[in-house]
Amino acid sequence: MKMNTIESPLSRFQLPKLAAVALGGLLLVGCAGNPPNEQFAVTESAVRSAVSAGATQYAPVDMRAAQEKWKQAELAMQKENYEEARRLAQQAEWDARVAERKAQAAKAQKAVEDAQKGVQELREESMRGLQQ
């Protein structure tokens, strides 16, 4: 005996999709409500590493940007605006990493120039020795 059934507005294929979207939304809301403690630890480490690398001297613009965003992230954290705090902390981390790389590159360039200068002085000194 075959019975006629009325299809609901949500077909059997749409229901799992709807459930997945709802679950994803709940997960996002859950993440937004948590303080970004891990990101803050990573950012703080990146800022300290950049300072240690000499970024305040060799990459002051990038370092200043990192420090300003870090301060803004801390303010957002105090206001419990965790998503904004996370975003700013991530930006501060990457600004600090850029500043650190620029400082490292500037130091490496200076070392190359110093080495080239030393080689040139040795050449000049050896040429003077040959002329005498």
**Cα–Cα–Cα angle for 124, 125, 128, rounded to 5 degrees:** 85
Write down the pLDDT at residue 27.
45
Q: Residue 112 domain-assigned?
A: yes
pLDDT at 26: 45
- How high is the mean pLDDT of the chain? 84
Residues 45-74: pLDDT tens digits? Answer: 999 999 999 999 999 999 999 999 999 999
Domain limits for position 94: 36-131
Q: Is 59 exposed, middle or buried (0-12, 13-18, 19+ CB in 10 A)?
A: buried
Pair 11, 53: CB distance under 8 Å: no
Do the domain assignments include residue 3?
no
- Amino acid letter for position 67: Q
Does residue 23 sit within a domain? no
Burial classification of residue 42, based on how many CB atoms lie within 10 Å of its CB (0-12 exposed, 13-18 middle, 19 or more buried): middle
Model pTM score: 0.67
In a domain, 26, yes or no: no
Under a CB-based contact definition with an 8 Å cutoff, are residues 42 and 93 in contact? yes
d(CA 59, CA 90): 19
- 87 pLDDT exceeds 50? yes
Asked if the structure places residue 21 within a domain, the reply is no
> Is residue 10 situated within a structural domain?
no
Indicate the DSSP class of residue 108. Answer: H
Tell me which residue has tokens 């997945």.
20
Let me know if residue 77 belongs to a domain: yes
Q: What CATH number should be reported for the domain holding residue 117?
A: 1.20.1270.390
Which amino acid makes up residue 48? R
Number of domains present in the structure of the chain: 1
In a domain, 58, yes or no: yes
